[in-house]
Structure 1
Amino acid sequence: MKKRKTPLRKCVSCQERSDKKTLVRIVKTKEGEVFLDPSGKANGRGAYICSLECLEDAIKKKALSRAFGIEISDETYEKLREDLKKHGK
C-alpha cells in the first residue's frame, strides 16, 4: 500500500514548518469573521499558529492581519487567545 504524504504548514509567526495536525488553524470567512478552527476543515482562508507564544508574537507583528488582508480587532484577538488556551496549545 502506498504511504500518504503528511501535509506540512508554516506558522505565520515563527515561520517554522510542521505537520498540519500539530498546528492550530485560524480561519477568515468570506464575511470577514476570524475564529479558531480546531477541526481544520472550516471554509475560508486559513493561517496556522503553533502556540500561544506565537499568537502573541503574530499579534505584535500583525502577521494575521497580513495573512488575511484585513485589520483584526482587539476583541477578536482576545477571543483567539481564550480559544487557544481552551484548546491547550
Structure 2
Amino acid sequence: MAQTKGKHRQKHIPQRTCVGCRTVQEKRSLTRVVRSAEGVVIDLQGKHAGRGAYLHNLQSCWQQGLEGRLAHALKIEISAEDMAVLKEYMSTLPLGDKRGPSS
C-alpha cells in the first residue's frame, strides 16, 4: 500500500466525453441524455436510471449528437417524438462553436 501520511489525496472528479464534439470534461459541465422505458429523456440531475450519453450545453454539440452520434451512443433509434423534444431543448441553448467549447 502506498503511504499517504501527511499528504492529501486530490478528490476524484468524474470525467465524461461529449458525444457531439468528443471533448472530455467534468461530468457536471455536461447534460446527460438517457435511454429509458419511456424513450429518450433529458436527465438534468444526472440520476435517471438507464443507458446515458453526455452533451455540452451548446447547440453545436447537440446538432452533431442529433445527427446520429447520440443514437449510436444510446444504442437506440430515436423516435420522431423524442427527436422533437430534443430539438426543442437544443433551441434553448447557446449556439457555441463547431469545434466544441473552449477549455
TM-score, normalised by the number of residues in structure 1: 0.82
Q: How many pairs does the alignment contain? A: 86
**Alignment equivalent of 2:88, drawn from 82, 85, 88:** 82
Give the RMSD, CA atoms, in angstroms: 1.8
Structure 2 unaligned segments of length 5 or more: list them.
1-7, 95-103
Quick one: distance in 1 between partners of 2:61 and 2:83? Answer: 13
- The aligned runs of 1:6-25 (5 Å cut-off) are 6-25=13-32
Higher helix share: 1
1:56 aligns with 2:63: yes
Local SS of the residue matching 1:36: strand
Identity %: 33
Match of 2:12 in 1: 5
Preserved contact between residue 8 and residue 18 of structure 1 (Cα < 8 Å) = yes
TM-score, normalised by the number of residues in structure 2: 0.72
Match of 2:73 in 1: 67
Find the structure with the greater CA-based Rg: 2
Where has structure 1 moved over 6 Å in runs of 4 or more?
none
Structure 1 unaligned segments of length 5 or more: list them.
none
**Alignment equivalent of 1:43, drawn from 39, 49, 68:** 49
Quick one: distance in 2 between partners of 1:23 and 1:13? Answer: 11
